[in-house]
Amino acid sequence: MNLPNMKEAQKRNITPTKYIYEERIKSDIFKGRKYSIKTYGCQMNVHDSEEIKALLESMGYIECDDYEKCDLVILNTCAIRENAHDKVFGFLGRLKHLKKTNKNLIIGLCGCMAQEEHVINEIREKHPYIDIVFGTHNLNELPSILKNYYGKQDIEVYSKEGDVYEFGNLYKRDSKYSAWVNIMYGCDKFCTYCIVPYTRGKQRSRKSIDILKEVKELKEEGYKEITLLGQNVNAYGKDLDGEIEFSELLKKVSDIGIERIRFVTSHPWDFTDQMIDVIASRDNIMPYIHLPLQSGSSRILKLMGRRYTKEEYMTLYNKIRTKVKGASITTDIIVGFPGETEEDFKDTLDVVDACKYDGAFTFIFSPRENTPASKMEDTTSLSEKEDRLQRLNEKINSYSKLSNEKMLGTVQKVLVTGISEKDSNKVCGYTENMKLVNVEAPKDVIGSIINVKILEAKSFSLDGIIEE
Ligand code: 5AD
Ligand code: SF4
């Protein structure tokens, strides 16, 4: 049984950071062992994997992208929809076979699925080949879990989140130019369809002093862009006894002078006029806002527990469009929520027509165990839901193409992040308003912000040439 680092640290009368450090120093038995992490789901998981990688590498593990050669494979999972569960167990089946030839392979599972009770039970009963399981609340336990592992399935998941502890800037970041910065963990909104408040726990904001320190360090390391990360970023600080709110944090982060600041995800209910004013008035806060709608029907929004009506959402949307010049606004929409009628769905299409989103992620409602919506009566057939999704996507795609076409002929500042996936002769990057651009340019521009003239607009990307 692994005790939480906090308790161990207290016992030894040392700080948690020192505890982790000491543990690592002692653990050179892991030197040269190979690991791989497969990450599912949202940016939060991507960023957690960056932390897991740093923890493993500080123990001596080396990253390896060939699963067959690995000593340790970790699946960082997502629980937001049912298909995420199916994908994970499909992949686990493949790993199980690898164990026949690689007897020392350790299979680990973490992330939101690991916080679900029925998944834990399923693992205990049916999947003995999964060696270690740890939850979203005790990521940092991984080194001690591995050290204590002796061949018997070890499930170390805490049902309750702890406070926010600072372990320093300990990440193996995927990019050298653009970095994620957690500003909060968990979510208190309890939208009736959503599992996140159960898997990630209640909202816990990091102290602004720690966030600002991390951003300063990233700037010094040469990062050009940071994205402030949280399930509900604009509720930041509400759990900190009024110390600071999101618009204040944005100002302070902006003052540090890093070139580009982004943030995801915002909840319409927490969006204030002050936030809009700060975004509009600061050049280094990027004009890109992800503003999940979920449904355009006020009746369904109420059932979802979203705390706004169609009209209130539209008022906010128009305010942002008017004040933040050249902003891109994207959204998330769920179709087929229990009880959604054709009339309700038409309300969603109405909002899409009115907002002409720059892009959207669209989903069919997926009942999640123990959420209120999973117990609501749902009489709409799957084929009807699929039909709604298709009709919605056609609209969304046409508006996204339209929004890209508006960029034609303009000159955009693009932060070049790597080689284009579509054409290895090109590099790619993002405009200030978060449009993906492919551009013919020498590779040495990777990592810098260049001017690009937009010559072609596709549905999901733009093509351009360098403008000196
Ligand atoms: N079913 C379908 N989509 C969901 N989302 C969250 N929970 C569910 C669910 N149970 C969507 C929401 C959210 C996005 C991250 O995933 O649109 O904004
Ligand atoms: Fe889930 Fe709602 Fe919280 Fe977003 S705001 S993470 S949808 S509960």
- Please state, in angstroms and rounded to a whole number, the distance separating the CA atoms of residues 200 and 157: 12
- Please state, in angstroms and rounded to a whole number, the distance separating the CA atoms of residues 444 and 441: 8
Give the tens place of pLDDT for each residue, 134-185.
999 999 899 989 988 888 999 999 988 887 877 777 899 999 999 999 999 9
- Please state, in angstroms and rounded to a whole number, the distance separating the CA atoms of residues 336 and 298: 15
- Burial label for 369, CB within 10 Å (0-12, 13-18, 19+), is middle
Q: 194 C-alpha to center of ligand 1: Å?
A: 6
Which 3 state secondary structure label does DSSP give 88?
A: helix
Considering the segment(s) 411-466 as one domain, its CATH architecture is: Beta Barrel (2.40)
Residues of the chain with CATH 3.40.50.2300: 6-156
Give the tens place of pLDDT for each residue, 104-121.
899 999 999 999 999 999
- Please state, in angstroms and rounded to a whole number, the distance separating the CA atoms of residues 151 and 132: 9
Give me the pLDDT at residue 5, please.
64
Tell the residue nearest (CA) to atom 6 of ligand 1. Answer: 194
R_g of the chain computed on alpha carbons: 23
Q: 266 C-alpha to center of ligand 2: Å?
A: 10
Ligand nearest to the backbone CA of 331: 1
Q: 80 C-alpha to center of ligand 1: Å?
A: 6
- Please state, in angstroms and rounded to a whole number, the distance separating the CA atoms of residues 222 and 232: 27
Give the tens place of pLDDT for each residue, 21-71.
566 556 678 889 999 999 999 999 999 999 999 999 988 999 999 999 999
Residues of the chain with CATH 2.40.50: 411-466
What average pLDDT does the segment 211-236 reach? 97
Q: Which ligand 1 atom is the nearest neighbour of the CA of 361? A: 17
Pick from 136, 193, 198, 232 the residue to mutate for probing ligand 2's pocket: most ligand atoms within 8 Å of its CB: 232
For ligand 2, whether the C-beta of 460 sits within 6 Å is no
Give the tens place of pLDDT for each residue, 329-376.
999 999 999 999 999 999 999 999 999 999 999 999 999 999 999 999
Cβ of 381: how many Cβ atoms within 10 Å?
A: 10
- Please state, in angstroms and rounded to a whole number, the distance separating the CA atoms of residues 425 and 420: 8
One CATH from 3.40.50.2300, 3.10.20.70, 3.40.50.300, 1.10.3720.10 for 6-156: 3.40.50.2300
Cβ of 93: how many Cβ atoms within 10 Å?
A: 11
Q: 81 C-alpha to center of ligand 1: Å?
A: 7
Query: Average pLDDT of the chain?
Result: 93
Tell the residue nearest (CA) to atom 17 of ligand 1. Answer: 332
Confidence of residue 228 (pLDDT cuts 50, 70, 90): very high
HSE, side-chain direction, 13 A CA sphere, residue 104 = 8
Give me the pLDDT at residue 7, please.
73
What average pLDDT does the segment 197-213 reach? 95
Both tokens assigned to 239: 């759990």
Fold of 183-405: pyruvate-formate lyase- activating enzyme (3.80.30)
Give the tens place of pLDDT for each residue, 280-303.
999 999 999 999 999 999 999 999
Q: 214 and 256 in contact (C-beta within 8 Å)?
A: no
For ligand 1, whether the C-beta of 201 sits within 6 Å is no
Q: Which ligand 2 atom is the nearest neighbour of the CA of 265? A: 4
What's the pTM value of the predicted model, to 2 decimals? 0.92
Give me the pLDDT at residue 468, please.
78
